[in-house]
Amino acid sequence: MSDVRASPILPVSDLDRALEHYAALGFLTSRWSEDYGFAAWRGLELHLSVHEGHDPLRTASAVFLHVPDPDAVHAQWSAAGIGRDLAPEDKPWHVREGAHIDDDGNLLRYGGPIASPS
């Protein structure tokens, strides 16, 4: 096991809205200050940082999450009815990938191994 971890810092325009968004997806959220918060899920910790004038259409923030079951993640997150979701599909590089985009345009791509046929 590595002793190195990464915590992506995502820009948000409204911290309260962002914390509510990630809580609805199943993240444990907390506020550090007026303009900084956290969203934790299955060992991942996202940092949410308010950026005045943030334009969701111009962000390039993205995170890739390695998950054991991309279809289960899609089912959970799309059931929340928030953001934009792309259903997982099998990719030529042998990974099944899906995606979620939050209200600030931050992209959470997730993927895992393609299930072998039984």
Structure-token pair, residue 76: 């959970």
Residue 40 has pLDDT above 70, yes or no: yes
Domains along the sequence of the chain with CATH: 9-113 (3.10.180.10)
The mean pLDDT value for 15-39 works out to 97
pTM for the full model?
0.88
Cα–Cα distances in angstroms (integers) from residue 90 to residues 13, 71, 86, 105, 107, in the given order: 33, 11, 12, 24, 19
Q: What is the pLDDT of residue 99?
A: 97
Residues 106-117 have pLDDT tens digits of 999 999 999 776
Q: Where are the alpha helices (DSSP H) in the chain?
A: 15-24, 70-79
- Tokens 């002793």, residue located: 3
pLDDT score at 2: 72
Which pLDDT belongs to residue 112?
96
Residue-wise pLDDT tens digits, 71-86:
999 999 999 999 999 9
